[in-house]
Amino acid sequence: MKLVDFHSHYYPPEYLDAVMRGPAAVRVTTDAEGNPCLHYPGDYNVAVRGHRDIAYREGVLAEAGVDRQLITFTTPGVHIEAPAQSAALARMVNDAFAAAVARPARRYAALATLPLDDPAASVAELERAMTQLELPGAMVFSNVNGVALADPRYEPLWAKANDLGAVIYIHPTHPVGVEAMTDYWLMPLLGFTFDTTLAAAKLVFSGVAERTPKVTWVLCHLGGTVPYLAERLDRGWRAFSECRANIDRPPSEYLKRMYFDTVNFDVGALSLAVAFAGADHVLAGSDYPHQIGSIEQMKSSLARLPVTPAEREGILARNAQRVLKLMD
């Protein structure tokens, strides 16, 4: 049975060289093993070999039985830089992603990163990535330096994404109020899931999801808390006129159209997502090679998930192949 890992991350070496050389807003240190460490509020990422050596990853995937892996950029993102540098780094990253996809082993698919601090540049880079680099869409962060994705400044980006039929994959970053989550690693453990949920709810209540029927929206980490809290959002829609101002159907109807990756390795949680959105809207994901990710836990949890053989085949590969328009 094929396996497509929809959630993984890659720092192209040229990006790491650029930010280590500086000047850059991201603070980079080096650990005892020589790995770059990229710091941002409440968290830091250790860029281990799997993060930055695309050829090495191919061996890891072959050994783990992963046929294809979707690579995306990750925190802290290029949008923390000044706009001109943000746009240049996004182009650099996306060119490297396209080169990884074109490698002879055909192990990778990729979604673009965008210079989200500049909405106009993001529109241009999404169009370039999709029409010239042939990437199927972009991974965006759940907020942009504290600004919501549902903010009106991003309307042109979502309109362009809709015109292009883009996959838009929402990955969390440090939320507003991160100062309350800096101990016990609470920012990545809880803050990430809160911010994904908040981003999805605002995209629905603002009408963005309604206005973009051709966009395939995907949420990281099993949608944060969306499957668990969707009923509460529906109650809000019935109770409060503000929640009905931009949409004429309950929020859950829009949320169920979204896709959810399986970077939550609890079988009960996975079962809830399947019950909420359907097995055809769930995508295998590992979060490789982050410290908190695991290809083996992804595989083990999905092996124990109580679904039919056809549904399991879809979660493991077929759903991702459909979303990403993979031919094999």
For tokens 């109020």, the residue is 177
CA distance 257 to 230: 13
**CA proximity to 182, closest of 75, 30, 38, 40:** 40
Per-residue pLDDT, 136: 98
> What CATH number is given to the structural domain containing 128?
3.20.20.140
Mean of the per-residue pLDDT values of the chain: 97
Residue range of the domain that includes 86: 4-10+52-324
Reply yes or no on whether the pLDDT at 159 is more than 80: yes
Identify the helix (H) or strand (E) that includes residue 128.
helix 119-131
**Gyration radius from the chain CA atoms:** 19
- Whether 257 is covered by a domain: the verdict is yes
Per-residue pLDDT, 234: 98
Write out pLDDT tens, residues 8-65: 999 999 999 999 999 999 999 999 999 999 998 778 899 999 999 999 999 999 999 9
Per-residue pLDDT, 10: 98
Distance from chain centroid for Cα 223: 10
- Whether 69 is covered by a domain: the verdict is yes
- Is the pTM here over 0.85, yes or no? yes
Reply yes or no on whether the pLDDT at 321 is more than 80: yes
**Range with the lowest mean pLDDT among 83-87, 237-241, 324-328?**
324-328
DSSP secondary structure code for residue 112 in this structure: B
Identify the helix (H) or strand (E) that includes residue 61.
helix 54-64
Reply yes or no on whether the pLDDT at 306 is more than 90: yes
| Residue 327 confidence class, pLDDT cut points 50, 70, 90 | confident
Per-residue pLDDT, 42: 79
- Whether 177 is covered by a domain: the verdict is yes
- Whether 40 is covered by a domain: the verdict is no
In terms of DSSP bridges, do strands 36-40 and 27-30 run parallel, antiparallel, or are they unpaired? Answer: antiparallel
Reply yes or no on whether the pLDDT at 328 is more than 90: no
Per-residue pLDDT, 40: 84
Q: Outline where 165-294 has alpha helix (H).
A: 186, 192-205, 208-211, 226-239, 251-255, 267-277
- Whether 20 is covered by a domain: the verdict is no
Reply yes or no on whether the pLDDT at 297 is more than 90: yes
- Whether 43 is covered by a domain: the verdict is no
CA distance 197 to 202: 9
Across 138-164, average pLDDT: 98
Write out pLDDT tens, residues 176-218: 899 999 999 999 999 999 999 999 999 999 999 999 999 999 9
In terms of DSSP bridges, do strands 143-144 and 147-148 run parallel, antiparallel, or are they unpaired? Answer: antiparallel
CA distance 324 to 17: 30
- Whether 26 is covered by a domain: the verdict is no
In terms of DSSP bridges, do strands 259-261 and 216-219 run parallel, antiparallel, or are they unpaired? Answer: parallel
CA distance 323 to 1: 18
State whether residue 86 is helix, strand or coil.
helix
Per-residue pLDDT, 43: 83
**Number of structural domains, the chain?**
1
Cβ(121)–Cβ(78) below 8 Å: no
What DSSP assignment string belongs to 3-59?
A: -EEEEEE---HHHHHHHHHS--SSEEEE-TTS-EEEEETTEEEE--HHHH-HHHHHH
Reading the block at residue 122, the tokens are 């993001």
Per-residue pLDDT, 37: 96
**CA proximity to 41, closest of 82, 76, 83:** 76
Distance from chain centroid for Cα 106: 21
- Whether 42 is covered by a domain: the verdict is no
